[in-house]
Amino acid sequence: MRVNIELETSQTLDDETEVFTEYETGILRKTMDGGIIITYFDDGVHNEILLDQDFTEVKVVRDFDEDNAFLYRENYHHALAYKTEAGTMDLEFHTKLVEIDCIHQDSLLHIHLKYSIFQFGHPVSDNEVRIKVAKM
């Protein structure tokens, strides 16, 4: 099904918070095991948000690169070599909150993530992402 996607990200760095909001169109599909996949393009880059069947885990894959995927599960820590145009950065993600809610009058799905990013064991930023998915 075609969907509208609203992504609101807040990032706190050195006690200053910036909020970014993006609006995209994409496709929502259900998987055979009861999970959900949301796909969309952002600046020509393919993005995939995968929700597990229990709605306890969110995986974000950019540009079909499974090795560079972000994994959000409450109280979960993972590290990856994040690839950027300027090169690769070793980052750690510490997920604090994963909420996935499918009961809304105005939308199909709300995803709420809170996590911190660390580099070389030092805090970089605290982040919060809210994703709202609605029928077109």
Average pLDDT by stretches of 10, the chain with 136 residues: 96 95 96 93 92 94 83 94 84 95 79 96 95 93
pLDDT the model gives residue 46: 93
- Name beta bridge partners: 97: 114
Residue 64 has a pLDDT of 80
Say what the pLDDT of residue 85 is: 77
pTM assigned to the model: 0.89
CA angle at residue 94 from 90 to 96, to 5 degrees? 160
Phi, psi of 68 (to 5 degrees): -110, 25
Reduced to 3 states, what is the DSSP secondary structure of residue 16? strand
- Beta-carbon-side half-sphere exposure of residue 45 (alpha carbons within 13 Å): 11
Q: Which amino acid is at 113?
A: L
Sheet with 45-51, edge to edge strand ranges:
70-73, 57-62, 45-51, 36-42, 16-30, 2-13, 122-135, 109-119, 87-101, 76-84
Architecture of domain 2-135: Beta Barrel (2.40)
